[in-house]
Amino acid sequence: MLYVFCEKNEYGRGCSEMKYLVIGSGGREHALAWKLGTEDRGNDVYVLPGNGGIAPEKRVDIPVGNVQAIAEWCAESRVDLVVIGPEAPLADGIVDFLSKKKIPVFGPHREAARLESSKLFAKRVMLEYGVPTATHQEFTNRDSLIRYVSQTTRFPLVIKLDGLAAGKGVCVASSRDEALSFINAAIPEGAPAFTEEFIDGEEASVLCISDGEHFITLSPAQDHKRAFDGDRGPNTGGMGAYAPAPVMTAERITLVQNRILAPTIAGMSKRGTPFRGVLYAGIIIHGDDISVLEFNVRFGDPEAQVIIPLLNESLGSLLEASLSGTLQSRLAHVSNLHALTVVMASAGYPGAYERGKLITGLDRVGEGAIVFHAGTSFRDGSYYTNGGRVLNVTAVGATLQEARDKAYAAAELISFDGAFYRKDIGHRALRSSTRG
């Protein structure tokens, strides 16, 4: 279904007076709401279910899985556009459901969202349409995978769970013992999985907004998955990010557009499942070669927290153009500044952690930084921890070093019991610039 957004929508509001509902509760959703809410004074932005950083009157207390209640709230509240943040509702078909209810919603339909919800499906699409990716071997159950790992001598070895795993369904095992430990801990019996050739190189994230045919490429970013400095420790949902990533030169961005984004979007259209939404290509660069590690079908978290502040055009207009099929392929209009975000996490993350720790110092953060809330709650005038990744401290600067200095200066003002964060976000780009 395509939607046409005109000078006046069906509720009599102008295009500069949109009512949005952002679905999700993390830092990505806070960043989306912040951008949409600051683009025009007439915009009215709500977040479902939101977090402590969202004003109580702008939070919608409905479970993300209750799509019928969400549809009813949207109809009663006369919402102009629903924006889906996390991957799980997309995989569950929330876009299909709301579209059938004639509610405009930004994000891919369930079949297109399989590019993320099934890594094996994504592999098959890439192979079918000539998108560069590592060779892989599929396993239908854990026992067959264990047998293979017990016999192979190819290490490092990449092991991936087929389905969604909140960014933690991947292991780069340097030894047989590490591989077997991951399989026993992370892969349920009967769950499909696969191994993948290890490619040594530098990772980057290239996101685009697509209308099913054309796409707008956003500023390239680089995430930091490991929990601790020096890229050590377990994988997480992301401990920080920066943009633009200098490893993504203009030539490499063009290569990603031509060899990865364009053929994937065209291929999905040929399959009868056009991709409308955010297509996120997690890539690895090895010499002159660029390969896809994975696709996501939504804004990254924490990549969104650095990409969105650099966007120098209306995000709302881009989302609306995606739905109406009126995008024209190009690079997004972005500032010539740099952005960096530091994730402040709870002790124990990505494992078990405690909630309910008082957060102090937020009132001391000045205009030099933006704090996007993720796992927080607000009660009795105070903020408390309510998740593993608690806050995203983001700053923008004329250089990456300036953005980094501002972000860390702000993070040092904030505290809660057990708080930790990486001290080396942006280290690859800063090291490269020093060498240069």
Identify the DSSP state of 398. Answer: S
pLDDT digits (tens, 9 = 90+) for 332-343: 999 999 999 999
Among 196, 28, 224, CA closest to 107:
28
| pLDDT value of residue 9 | 52
Count of positions (residues) in the chain: 436
The mean per-residue pLDDT over the stretch 106-118 comes to 97
| pLDDT value of residue 41 | 61
Among 264, 351, 257, 304, CA closest to 86:
304
| pLDDT value of residue 318 | 96
pLDDT digits (tens, 9 = 90+) for 84-103: 999 999 999 999 999 999 99
Percent helix / strand / coil, the chain, rounded to 5 = 30, 30, 40
Distance, in Å, from the CA atom of 339 to the CA atom of 243, rounded to the nearest integer, reads 5
Residue 380 has pLDDT above 90, yes or no: yes
Q: Which domains does the chain have, with CATH numbers?
A: 19-109 (3.40.50.20), 135-196 (3.30.1490.20), 200-331 (3.30.470.20), 338-435 (3.90.600.10)
| pLDDT value of residue 434 | 55
What percentage of the chain has pLDDT greater than the value 90? 85
Could you tell me if residue 42 is left (phi over 0), alpha (psi between -120 and 50 degrees) or otherwise beta? Answer: alpha
Q: Where are the alpha helices (DSSP H) in 64-205?
A: 67-77, 87-91, 94-100, 110-117, 119-128, 142-151, 176-186
Distance, in Å, from the CA atom of 258 to the CA atom of 254, rounded to the nearest integer, reads 6
| pLDDT value of residue 157 | 93
> Is the pLDDT higher at 140 or at 117?
117
Report residue 274 CA to chain centroid gap: 20
| pLDDT value of residue 433 | 64
The mean per-residue pLDDT over the stretch 273-291 comes to 96
Position 435, amino acid:
R
Q: 427: Cβ–Cβ under 8 A, 6 or more apart, which residues?
A: none
Distance, in Å, from the CA atom of 43 to the CA atom of 255, rounded to the nearest integer, reads 37
Per-residue tokens: 187:
């892969």
The bridge status of strand 376-379 relative to strand 382-385 is: antiparallel
pLDDT digits (tens, 9 = 90+) for 307-321: 999 999 999 999 999
Predicted TM-score of the model (pTM): 0.93
Distance, in Å, from the CA atom of 237 to the CA atom of 17, rounded to the nearest integer, reads 34
| pLDDT value of residue 12 | 45
What are the backbone angles phi and psi of residue 225, rounded to the nearest 5°?
-80, -40
- Per the prediction, the chain carries an average pLDDT of 93
Position 203, amino acid:
E
pLDDT digits (tens, 9 = 90+) for 381-422: 999 999 999 999 999 999 999 999 999 999 999 999 999 999
SS3 144: helix
Q: How far is CA 365 from CA 43, 106, 372, 404, in A?
A: 26, 33, 12, 15
Residue 203 has pLDDT above 70, yes or no: yes
Question: Angle 315-324/27-38 helices, nearest 10 degrees?
Answer: 100
Burial class (CB in 10 A: 0-12, 13-18, 19+), 110: middle
Among 19-23, 50-54, 300-304, 364-368, which stretch is predicted with the lowest mean pLDDT? 364-368
Residue 2 has pLDDT above 50, yes or no: no
